[in-house]
């Protein structure tokens, strides 16, 4: 973008905002500001307009800085929403596991629920794997078996995650959440 040198003069953060924008929305925003305030989107025209009228230059600079601040505030709100969602998910997982522990402490048969469901999910998945490799699938049913087997594999993965702990992706999210909450990396 030919405006980069001019925008670098405004503030280095503006250039990082533009360069970090993957959607092109920041460039469109700055181009719109240039069109509205300076009457042009051509880099040479912008430079001439800024050099010719300090008032226009100041208006342009303030509008671009305000747009950057608005975009960064919006991004921060989105990050905060993601953080709040992660906190809720962690609380939900912790609540589910603590509920199972509490049920086991009081001797409730419901404490066996997670184990029973887990065993069923593993047996179903193993059955699909057996059918697929033992070739006991009726002709024309292989596609249906693969679709259902995919669902069974998802259930098997969820069982593993429940009993063996978090995946590396969840561990990464946990670390990110921990860093966001404590303010440390």
Q: 60 and 18, same structural domain?
A: yes
Q: Which of 29, 56, 76 is the last residue of a domain?
A: 76
Same domain, yes or no: 112 and 162: yes
Question: Which are the contacts of 27, defined by CB distance < 8 A and separation ≥ 6?
Answer: 1, 18, 21
Task: Write down the pLDDT at residue 149.
Answer: 85
Is there a single domain that holds both residue 116 and residue 162?
A: yes
What is the total count of domains within the chain? 2
Q: Which domain does 135 fall in, by range?
A: 108-182
Q: Closest Cα partner for 8 from 68, 54, 72, 56?
A: 68
Q: Cβ distance 120 to 158 under 8 Å?
A: no
Question: Does a structural domain hold residue 92?
Answer: no
Q: How far apart are CA 62 and CA 46, in angstroms?
A: 15
Task: Flag whether 40 is in a domain.
Answer: yes
Q: Does 31 fall in a domain? A: yes
Is residue 87 domain-resident?
no
pLDDT in tens, the chain (185 residues): 555 566 656 665 676 676 666 667 777 888 888 889 888 888 788 888 888 888 888 888 889 889 888 988 998 999 999 888 888 877 777 677 777 788 888 888 888 888 888 899 999 989 888 887 887 777 788 788 888 888 899 888 888 887 776 555 555 656 665 666 666 55
Note whether 17 and 59 are same-domain residues.
yes
Please identify which residue in the block is written with the tokens 């992660």.
86
Q: Is 95 domain-assigned?
A: no
Residue 102 lies inside a defined structural domain of this protein: no
d(CA 21, CA 16): 8
Give how far Cα 184 sits from Cα of 72, 81, 82, 131, 173, Å.
Answer: 21, 19, 18, 50, 14
Cα-Cα-Cα-Cα dihedral of 136, 141, 145, 146, to 10°? 110
In a domain, 152, yes or no: yes
């Amino acid at each position: 973008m030919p405006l980069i040198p001019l925008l670098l003069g405004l503030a280095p953060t503006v250039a990082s905002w533009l360069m970090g924008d993957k959607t092109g929305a920041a460039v469109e925003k700055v181009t719109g500001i240039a069109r509205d305030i300076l009457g042009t989107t051509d880099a040479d025209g912008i430079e001439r307009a800024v050099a010719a009228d300090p008032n226009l230059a100041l208006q342009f600079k303030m509008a671009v800085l305000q747009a950057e601040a608005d975009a960064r505030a919006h991004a921060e709100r989105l990050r905060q929403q993601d953080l709040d969602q992660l906190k809720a998910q962690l609380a939900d997982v912790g609540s589910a596991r603590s509920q199972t522990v509490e049920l086991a402490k009081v001797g409730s048969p419901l404490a066996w629920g997670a184990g029973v469901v887990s065993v069923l999910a593993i047996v179903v998945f193993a059955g699909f794997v057996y059918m697929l490799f033992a070739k006991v699938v009726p002709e024309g049913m292989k596609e249906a078996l693969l679709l259902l087997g995919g669902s069974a594999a998802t259930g098997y993965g969820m069982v593993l995650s429940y009993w063996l702990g978090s995946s590396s992706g969840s561990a990464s999210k946990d670390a990110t959440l921990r860093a966001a909450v404590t303010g440390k990396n």
